[in-house]
Amino acid sequence: MKFSKIPARAEYLIDFFEEGLSSLGAICERSWHDRLEVLAEGETARLWRNEGDFFSGELHFCNGGLPETGNPETEVFPGSPLTFKLVEAIWTHNAVHSRACLSTGGILRPPAQDVAQKLWQAQFGPCAAWRLTTPFRPAWSFSLVIALRCEIQAIDQSWSCHRLAFTLPGGERDASLESTLEQMSPTETAPEGPDWPAEDGFTVSDWIGRALVNELAPELSKIKERQQNFLRRELSRIDTYFDNYSRELHSRMARQRKEDAIKRYAERLEATRVEHNRRRADQIERHTIHLLPHVDAVLTVAEPALVATVSCRAGRAERSTRATFIPRARRWHLAENATNEEVAANG
């Protein structure tokens, strides 16, 4: 899920400031359609006063790109320093990694066996002699939801904001959870709570990298094409210059008769070759696209699910797989020791 960019207009920015400052404990009141009175203290006041512990003033919101300049403490526009300070303060105020037991609010009911079979076959493909060898039992399904900003370093730097959700422990992308997280509410749990899984940072980093490459594929394709055009032009310019220079050195060296002079030209040719390669490598590095994710918050979600053992026939052999059914997404998730390929092979 990629969040759309907020339009660079004052009416959108004033809503963001009112909600953001209120979440940090400030008192806000709109005095006009483009003005917001703010009363803040403590850490929130330090958005305006580095040493002070209290701020009272009226913020004026204007559209970006206007020629006139005003007071940077009270004039707000998209891209203003105060906007970045507020974003950083909101992220710092929220917990970096938290846990929550959530549900969609409905009653947890197991699906009929024929419905469960159709959903299984739609997800993993047709299989023979499909049946449940154990009844559905209540369980917990765990997911990892990550809020991050992605920085694309190229000729033009660009940023995008994303919410990525992965099922645990396999790391399958859960687009449904990404879009319906706000619709879920806390659910009651036993006093001891669920047995929360541990996450491996290197594995999660790999999931994030693959998800971003897939999600940003259209943008990356355009950036890559532009980078290649610029790189091709720069390499052609460098090659033409050094080819002409080397040709001139060879021509001068051919007219020399003294060994010392020939040796000097040979050294200059070698230095030219080294510098040529260095310039090419430098341009390739300059035109390399770097995808840098900046993780701002991580949420481990536990939601009610149903676990059962599914039996399928593979040829003459019958195999059993422990799987979890997620009512919210109407999807199956396999146990950690089972893979999609193994289940598909059961058909």
| Pairing of the two strands 137-153 and 317-326 | unpaired
| Segment 6-26, tens digit of pLDDT | 666 777 788 888 888 888 888
pLDDT at 45: 85
Residues in the chain: 347
**Secondary structure of residue 317 in the 3-state scheme:** strand
pLDDT tens column, 256-310: 888 888 899 899 999 999 999 999 999 998 888 888 888 888 889 888 888 888 8
Q: How confident is the model at residue 61 (pLDDT cuts 50, 70, 90)?
A: confident
Residues paired with residue 295 on neighbouring β-strands, in sequence order: 148
Task: Decide the pairing of beta strands 317-326 and 290-314.
Answer: antiparallel
- Looking at residue 4, what is its pLDDT? 62
- Pairing status of strand 54-61 against strand 158-167: unpaired
Segment 1-10, tens digit of pLDDT: 555 666 667 7
| 67-87 confidence digits (pLDDT tens) | 555 677 788 887 778 888 888
Give pLDDT tens digits for 152-174: 888 877 888 889 999 888 888 88
Q: For residue 340, how far is the Cα from the chain centroid?
A: 25
Chain mean position to CA 291: 10
Provide the token pair at 15: 């809503």
User: What's the average model confidence in pLDDT over 230-239?
Assistant: 93
pLDDT (tens digit per residue) in 289-302: 888 888 888 889 88
Q: Which two tokens stand for residue 3?
A: 């969040």
User: What is 222-235 written as a DSSP string?
Assistant: HHHHHHHHHHHHHH
For residue 57, the one-letter residue type is G
| Token pair 């929220």: residue | 94
SS (H, E, C) 151-191: EEECCCCEEEEEEEEEECCCCCECHHHHHHHHHCEECCCCC
Banded pLDDT at 212 (limits 50, 70, 90): very high
- CB atoms near residue 66 (< 10 Å): 10
Which pTM does this prediction carry?
0.63
For the chain, give the mean pLDDT.
83
Mean pLDDT score, 141-150: 90
- Residue 87 CB: number of other CB atoms within 10 A? 14
What's the confidence (pLDDT) of residue 240? 94
% the chain with pLDDT above 90: 16
Contact 275, 206 (CB under 8 A): no
Give start and end residues of each alpha helix (H) in 50-97.
Answer: 81-93
* pLDDT surpassing 80 at residue 343: no
The sign of the torsion formed by the CA atoms of 305, 179, 125, 204 equals negative
What are the percentages of helix, strand and coil residues in the chain, rounded to 5?
40, 30, 30
The radius of gyration of the chain from alpha carbons, rounded to an integer in Å, stands at 30
Phi, psi of 178 (to 5 degrees): -60, -40
Is pLDDT of 47 > 70? yes
Peptide bond into 169 cis (omega under 30): yes
The two counts, helices (H) then strands (E), for the chain are 8, 12
Residues pairing with 147 in the sheet: 163, 297
User: How many CB atoms within 10 Å of residue 68?
Assistant: 6
CA–CA separation, 142 and 309 (whole Å): 18
As a whole number, mean pLDDT of residues 198-222 equals 89
Mean pLDDT of 199-214: 89
Q: Which two tokens stand for residue 199?
A: 């996450």
Q: How confident is residue 51, by pLDDT bands cut at 50, 70 and 90?
A: low
pLDDT at 88: 78
Provide mean pLDDT across the span 129-156.
87
